[in-house]
Amino acid sequence: MDQEFQRVGLLGRREHPGVNQIVSDLLTLLDARGVDVVLEDRLATLSHFEKRAMQPRDIIGKSVDLAVVIGGDGSLLSAARTLVRHNTPVIGINRGRLGFLTDVSPDDLMAQVTAVLDGDYARDSRFLLDAQVIRDGVAIGEAEALNDVVVNSGTSAQMIEFELTIDGEFVYRMNADGLILATPTGSTAYSMSGGGPIMNPSLDAVVLVPMFSHSLTSRPIVVHGDSQIRLDIVSRNQINPLVTCDGQVSLTALPGDSVLVSKKAEKLTLLHPPGHSFYASCRDKLRWSDALTQ
């Protein structure tokens, strides 16, 4: 039987504990199956892998049938923003803490990866957000996010004043530390910490969560995923707000600038091993039902 994945890329951060052993185990498995393997150049200093084919992340995305990301959710978020451009399916092996996205356990590594290679997996499509900073009608910076776009003051001592418009309709003017705009994927991350709802990843929606608003009636709003969202930074602000994507890429806006956020055209394809369940992940990672079992 022909294998679905003929060429596999291994990506990750060598700083994560246990990465060396996981890469070694994966190479043993993939070599035994006759799969061509490419390692991300960030793994180049790991022992015994120097003679393997090495490529930077953006090239790997174009040349492999499957990308395996080793690390925490942050590692997968970073890789996803590159791999989504090439429609490369991704699986994540968890070497971090929560692991909502990197859901393959190192303890079940061989069995779960073997199942995926055999075609036994669930395919999951996730959308990303595009964010642009507009100044005098011109985009002066742009980035993308799988989890969230956060517009914030950049300091704990000051709030920013902004106006929110959705699909051309004015929503509100607000004084707050900022605003979190999260995808369903990101609803279990910073948005949840800010009081936002947990959303099933299959939803086509974006949640807007105010951060420490100077209002007793400020609440999260859930809007359609295709919404065109604009934040206008009021000109009288005295600080330059930050626009942060997935907590990893930051742009700087000035008073009078606008921040445009919309759904990205390309989607990320995640592959999950057999038995994957979003609600089971919530029970495990968020410790749901623990009080009932004590």
* Domain spans of the chain, in order of start: 7-121+273-293, 128-265
Q: List the catalytic residue out of 2, 31, 73, 257.
A: 73
Res 48 pLDDT > 70:
no
Measured CA to CA, the distance from residue 286 to residue 55 in angstroms comes to 36
Q: Tokens 């791999």 label which residue?
A: 83
Q: For 197, which DSSP code?
A: P
Q: Topology of domain 128-265, per CATH? A: Tumour Suppressor Smad4 (2.60.200)
pLDDT of residue 96: 67
Q: What is the mean pLDDT of residues 140-147?
A: 97
With a cut of 80, say whether residue 280 has pLDDT above it: yes
What's the pLDDT band for 47 if we cut at 50, 70, 90?
low
Nearest alpha carbon to residue 183 among 121, 225, 141, 232: 225
Tens of pLDDT, residues 154-166: 877 789 999 999 9
Domain 7-121+273-293 of CATH type 3.40.50.1370: no
Judged against a pLDDT cut of 70, whether residue 46 lies above it is answered with: no
Q: Is 143's pLDDT higher than 80?
A: yes
Instruction: Judge whether 107 counts as a catalytic residue.
Output: no
- Which is nearest to 256 in space by CA: 278, 227, 234? 234
Q: How confident is the model at residue 1 (pLDDT cuts 50, 70, 90)?
A: very low
pLDDT of residue 278 exceeding 80, the answer is yes
Q: What is the pLDDT of residue 49?
A: 65
Q: Residue 50 has what pLDDT?
A: 64
Q: For the segment 215-262, what is each residue's pLDDT rounded down to a tens digit?
A: 888 999 999 999 999 999 999 999 999 999 999 999 999 999 999 999
- Can you give the pLDDT at residue 45? 65
* pLDDT single digits (tens) 121-140: 999 999 999 999 999 999 99
pLDDT tens digit string along 181-213?
Answer: 999 999 999 999 999 999 999 999 999 999 999
Portion of the chain with pLDDT greater than 90, in percent: 76
